[in-house]
Amino acid sequence: MRKLDTLMKTVGVGGCFLMTSINAQVGINTSNPQAILHVDGAKDNSVFGIPTAAQTANDVVFTANGEIGIGTLNPAVKIDVRSVNNTDNSIGIGETTQTASAAGSGAMRYNPLNGGKMQYSDGVVWQDLISSPTKAIVVANIQAANFAVKVPYQISTGISGWTEISDPTGNFTPGTGIFTAPRTGVYLVSFTYDFVRISLVSGYFSEARYVVNGSSVVKKCVKSFSNTSKQAQVAGSCVAGVQLNKGDIFQPHIYQSVYNGSLSLRTDTTPASNEYGFVNLSIVEQ
Residues 97 and 66 in one domain: no
Residue 230 lies in a domain: yes
- Domain span holding position 260: 137-285
This prediction has a pTM of: 0.61
Answer with the residue of higher pLDDT: 113 or 45: 45
Contact residues for 284 (Cβ-Cβ < 8 A; gap 6+)? 135, 136, 137, 138, 187, 188, 189
How much is the pLDDT for 2? 39
The CB density around residue 227, as the number of other CB atoms within 10 Å, is: 11
Rounded to whole angstroms, how far apart are CA atoms 23 and 21? 7
Same-domain check for residues 150 and 190: yes
| 105 and 217 assigned to the same domain | no
pLDDT, tens digit, 9 for 90 and up, residues 156-207: 999 999 999 999 999 999 999 999 999 999 999 999 999 998 877 666 889 9
Number of domains in the chain: 3
Per-residue confidence band for 133, with pLDDT thresholds at 50, 70 and 90: confident
Residues 67 and 160 in one domain: no
Q: Residue 256 in contact with residue 195, Cβ under 8 Å?
A: yes
Report the CATH number that the domain containing residue 195 is assigned in CATH: 2.60.120.40
Tell me: pLDDT of 11 over 90: no
Same domain, residue pair 6 and 49: yes
The answer as to whether 114 is a domain residue is: yes
Q: Is residue 86 part of a domain?
A: no
Query: What would the pLDDT profile of 21-65 be if each residue is shown by its tens digit?
Result: 445 899 999 999 999 999 999 999 999 999 999 999 999 999 999
Strand partners, 283: 138, 189
The partner residues of 237 in beta bridges, in order of sequence, read 192
The pLDDT value given to residue 234: 85
Amino acid symbol at 30 = T
Closest CA to 251 of 171, 186, 184: 171
